[in-house]
Structure formats: C-alpha cells, structure tokens
Amino acid sequence: MTAVIVGVWSMIFIGALMRGVEAQFVRNGISTLTGHIQVHHKGYRNDPAIENSMTEPDVVGTALEKHLPPGAGWTFRVRVDAVASNARHSSGVTLVGIDPPREARVSFIGQAVTEGRYLKPDEAYGIVVGNALLEKFETKMGRKLVLMSQGTDREIASRAFRIVGIFRAELEATEKQFAFVTMPAAQQMLKLGNGISEMSILLPNDQDVPQVASALRTELPAAEYEVHTWRELLPLVNAYLSLYDTFIFLWFLVVFIAMGFGIVNTTLMAVFERIREFGLLKALGMKPWWIIKEVLTESFLILVIGMGIGNILGLLTVFALSGSGIDLSSFAAGAEYVGMSRVIYPVMHAKDMAMANLVVIVLGLLVSLYPAAKAARFTPVEALAHT
Amino acid sequence: MSIVECINVKKTYQQGKVEVKALRGVSLSIDEGGFVAVAGPSGSGKTTMLNMMGGLDSPDSGSVVVDEHDFDKMNQSELASLRLHRVGFVFQAYNLIPVLSAVENVEFVMLLQGVSQAERRERAKAILDDVGLEGKYDRRPAELSGGQQQRVAVARAIVSDPAIVLADEPTANLDSKTGQGLLDMMKQMNEKKKVTFIFSTHDHMVMDYARRLVQLRDGLVVDDQVKKG
C-alpha cells in the first residue's frame, strides 16, 4: 500500500508541477508583449523592419472594436530593434513605444515597475528599462541612455532618454531585452508619423482566441494585414504544450511501472503465504475463477485505500505550495534558457488527477492478475501439504 | 447403490528422481450410507485414495465415479462444484479458517453455495448443536480445543448434505477419549442423516467403529471386510 500511496502522491504532485510549468510558459509568453492575438502589416513577421509598419492604425482599431468581446483589452506599439548605449556599454535591445494606459491593461509592464515610475502618456524623453539591463550598463535611475535605430528615412535615428523607471520580469532575459518609451517619442525618433508596428490584444477567455482571430482575418484586408494567434507567434511554447499531455502520461506510466513492482511483490507474497488457505478453499469447492476474484478484490481494496490517501497527500502538497511555489533560483540559468520562471506554482487539472487514478486502478488490477492466477492454479493436494 | 466407484485406479508421484507408486490399481465400490475405513500403514496409499475420491487429485489411469459423476469427464471448475455440493472433507489438521468463528466456518460452504444469510445461520447453528457445540457458535478456532475444532470441521463437512464425507485421519491429533467422542458423533450423523463416511486411518479405534474395513498395502487392496452385526 505504501507503494501505491507514494506513487499516486507523486503522480498528482509532479503532474501539478508540470502543469504549473506549462501554465507559466503560456503566461510568460502571453504577458511578455505577445498577448493572445497580434495584428501586423503584411510581411512584418518575416521582416520586422520599420518599412513594414502599419500606416493606418485607425482601420485596425475599428475592426478591433467591432469584433472584440467585452472585457478584452488591446494596445498598439512601435517595436524596433535598436542599440542602447551609455558611456560604458552598448547592447542590442528591442525599443518598444507604448501607449502607457492601454499597455498596462494588456501586458506585464504596467505592474512590473519596481523602482521609479511608469511612463506618462506624452512623455518625450523618459525610458523604462529592466533591472538586469540597468546592472549590465552599470547605471542607475535618472541617468541617460542613448537609443539608436534606423528611421523611415533610412538614416540613423537616435535619441537620449532619461531612465525614469526600472522594471522586473519573470525572466532576466526579458529585463535585458526590452526598453520602453512612449509611442509619440518612438514615432518622432523614427520619423514614423502615425505609423505603428503592431496591435496586441488580450482576451478575457483563452477559448475565444481562434474565433476572434478568424473574425479579424475576415475583416482586415489580407493584402495589407496579417493576424496571428499566440500559438503562431510562440511556436516553441506551442510545441511544448502539444507534447505536455504526452509527457505527463509517460510520467504516470514510469511511476506506475515502479509502483507496479511493489503491487505484484506484495500480492505475490500474500498469495504464497496463504497457499494452504487457497488449497482449503479449493478443496471446499471454491472455483478457480472465484479465487482469482478474491485476490483481485484484495488488490482492489489496497489500490483504492492507497489511492485515497495518495490523492489526499497530493492535494495537500499542491495546496501547501500553491501560495509560495517552488523556488528554482539555484537552477535559474538553466530554467530561463527553456523559458521557465524561477518560481513554479503547481496547478491541478482534474483530468490529470482522473488519469492518474485510472492508470493506477486499471494497471494495478492488471498486474495483480499474475498473482491471482498463481493462487488459482495451486492444486488442493499440493497446497494443503504446504507447511 | 454405489455412491463411490473406483476402477483400477493408479497413481504415481515423482519425488525428485524417485518414482513413488502410491496406487497400483485399486478397485473399490462403496455403497450409500456406508461407514468405511480405508486402513493401512504409512505410505500404503490411503490418503491418495481419498484424494482421488474427493476429486482433489486425478489418477494416472483408471476411473473414479462419485454420485454418478465420472471425474474423468469433468474439468477443474466442475470438480470444484461437485466438491462444493456433494463432498465433505474432514482433515487431520482440522483446517478451519482461523479468522472466522465456529458458526462462520460452518456457514462458509453454504455461502459459496449461495444460500441466504438467514438460512445459513439457522442451519449452521443447528448442525453445531448436533455435533455438541451448542452455545459455542462465536468462538474462534483458537478458542476451541482440538476435539471441538474437529467437531466444527465435521459440522462444516455435513452441513450441506453431501453425498460422501471423506475424513483423512480425523482422530490423529486427538486423545483417545476425544477421538471416541468424535467417532460417536460421526456415527450418529451417519445413522441419522445417512451420510456416507469414508475414513483413511491407521487408528484401530476408527477401524473398530467402521462397518467395513478396506486394507491397503503398497498401493493395493489386500483385504476388504464387511463386519457382521
């Protein structure tokens, strides 16, 4: 029974951790500027250059207002590759020009500023950078940072910004990559006029994504615009998700194989210890099939009680860790490489719990068939002679 | 009418490299209502003979017919069913189920037969009264003496009205007084319920009680006598 309890507990707990990692992959991906759906100028994804900006954002805005469900948020951005530099360092970054109030409702940046302040709507020279970038540049709040990119006139466009806020993100890579300025500041610097690079949409319900994306594709001229869902924009995350159900099932199978040895061993030992009893039962007239049923019933009871306790332990562990999570800071570098956050929060899925219990009960009874058949095959004479 | 018919039954066991011919061609016919002792020294084949009659083992050759059922034509499941309904066993080592009380041990066979709970309990208590264990229904085997345990075993064997009761050295673990009391009780059951009793024994007391004595030696019947009176 201990094997069953530990096995079920680990299936549920580790399964919940894996689902937590999965949920964080998705959450990080979506909140780190991707959103549920993005709209770009045709060709932008293949070549995210300034030339592929949307010059009539109002057209897209109208389509969004028409098709977005209540509770959805959307924003527009200028987004270009740039070089950030100060007196000591320079580094490639992604310059993101945002509408601060709209952006706060769609992506992580609205709640991520931990020092200084968030951007004001028409701020011309303020910049918000990540803490990791700040440390890399060995600079601090209030200091200047020069951003340089290519403008629409194909000339170098640059501007000096003053650091007004510092943000922290789940991934250090995010802190090093993005530098936020206001939309007007970016448009002016790049001589973009009213042009924007992308529209990003956050829906209240993940299940609505395909339907809304389809509606936008129908509404917007395909020759000028392209609409992508987060699964298309984050193919790595999408690939992980499609494999996750298989990973979890394989994990359950591996745990069960280990647990199965315990079940077979215990049941077989119990059968051999009771050879005389089975011989007596056969002598009294118990049919072989009834003996199999008896042994399977005993296994079933062990499995059910073990599963009950294992489920309770699993749920308690998940509940206990749901607040604090598990801190993987010591593995942070490796975790970040695959897009995992430093702290993992377990997430219970009812179907995982159901599958774990189903695997245990079905396979548990299957592996118990061997000891049951063994018990049924003792001849009464041999069994009663056993000491 | 014959309730048991054994014709030229042979059985050989392999013990390592040694072949042990337990039965070399035993033919025996036992009538209904008989009180028969199959006697002989150790190794004569008497227990093997009883195992054959009870369908617990199968002969290498020859036939065994009990209550008009030819064992040769029956599979394991059918033999089990026959044992359940038509054959009772009393073992030398009692072989009661230790976690069940006396009445539950007796009920067990009826439980396998599908008898209702109320009827099981009523019949079990009645048969325990018959074997002299009234009031001891709820005692576990560990709380009963050897003689009492053997009485429970006899009660279990006869509660389902079997055609035959096979008793393998039932007095071997009992003192003479207890053994005699047991045999008195079994004889009463035989006379009252007309149940055929077949004993394997080398106890002279059992041989004296039997109305027919079959002597086995080295796997063959050497003597077969019906007592007069």
Residues B58-76 pLDDT 10s: 899 999 999 999 999 998 8
Q: Residue range A350-367: average pLDDT?
A: 87
Q: pLDDT tens digits for B74-89?
A: 988 898 899 999 999 9
Exposure string for B10-22, b = 16+ CB within 10 A, e = fewer: bbeeeeeeeeeeb
Greatest CA separation for chain A:
100
pLDDT greater than 60 at residue A250: yes
What's the pLDDT at B229?
A: 54
Q: Which residues sit opposite A79 in a β-bridge? A: A96
Say if residue A338's pLDDT is above 60: no
**Residues of chain A contacting B149 with CB distance shorter than 8 Å:** none
Number of domains in chain B: 1
Q: What is the pLDDT of residues A50-79, one digit of tens each?
A: 888 888 888 888 888 888 888 888 999 999
Q: Among A10-19, A327-336, A337-346, B127-136, which is the least confidently predicted range?
A: A327-336
Find chain A residues with C-beta within 8 A of B83's C-beta. 283-285
| C-alpha span between B108 and B100 (Å, rounded) | 9
Looking at the complex, report in whole angstroms how far the Cα of residue B59 sits from the nearest Cα belonging to chain A: 13
pLDDT over 60 (residue A124): yes
pLDDT for residue B198: 95
How far apart (Å, rounded) are the C-alpha atoms in residues A33 and A26? 12
Chain A and chain B share a number of CB contacts under 8 A equal to 49
Cβ atoms of residues A72 and A215 within 8 Å:
no
Give chain A's contact residues with B (Cβ, < 8 Å).
276-277, 280, 282-290, 379-381, 384
Q: Tell if the CB–CB gap between B76 and A288 is shorter than 8 Å.
A: yes
pLDDT at A139: 92
Question: What DSSP string describes A324-354?
Answer: H-EE-GGGHHHHHHTT--SEE-----HHHHH
pLDDT of residue A29 exceeding 90, the answer is no
Collapsed DSSP state (helix, strand, coil) of residue A46: coil
pTM of the model: 0.69
* Max mean pLDDT range (A109-113, A263-267, A315-319, B100-104): B100-104
Cα A295 from chain centroid? 43
Taking CA atoms, A119 is separated from A65, A92, A110, A144, A161, in Å, by 25, 22, 9, 15, 12
What is the Cα–Cα distance from B199 to B68, expressed in whole angstroms? 21
**Segments forming the whole domain that contains residue B194:** 2-226
pLDDT of residue A387: 61
Residues A127-186 have pLDDT tens digits of 999 999 999 999 999 999 999 999 888 889 999 999 999 999 878 888 999 999 999 999
Instruction: Tell me the β-bridge partners of A200.
Output: A38, A75
Q: Calculate what percentage of chain A has a pLDDT beyond 90.
A: 34
Q: Phi-psi region for residue B213, left (φ > 0), alpha (ψ -120 to 50) or beta?
A: beta
CB-based contact B95 A286, cutoff 8 Å:
no
Residue A331: what pLDDT? 59
Q: How far is B54 from chain A (nearest CA, A)?
A: 8
pLDDT (0 to 100) of residue B176: 86
Q: What pLDDT, on a 0 to 100 scale, did the predictor assign at position A28?
A: 78
User: Of all residues in chain B, what percent carry a pLDDT higher than 90?
Assistant: 56
Of A276, A277, A284, the CB nearest to B84: A284
Partner residue opposite B57 with nearest CB, options A286, A287, A381: A381
| Cβ pair A283:B83 closer than 8 A | yes
CATH number of the domain that B56 lies in? 3.40.50.300
Contact A285 B108 (CB under 8 A): no
pLDDT at A52: 85
Q: What is the pLDDT of residue B137?
A: 94
Output b/e per residue, A246-265; b: 16+ Cβ within 10 A.
Answer: eebeebbeebbeebbebbbe
pLDDT at A340: 57
Residue numbers in B near A285 (CB within 8 A)? 80-85, 87, 109, 112-113
Average pLDDT, chain A: 87
* Cβ contact A157:A189 at 8 Å: yes
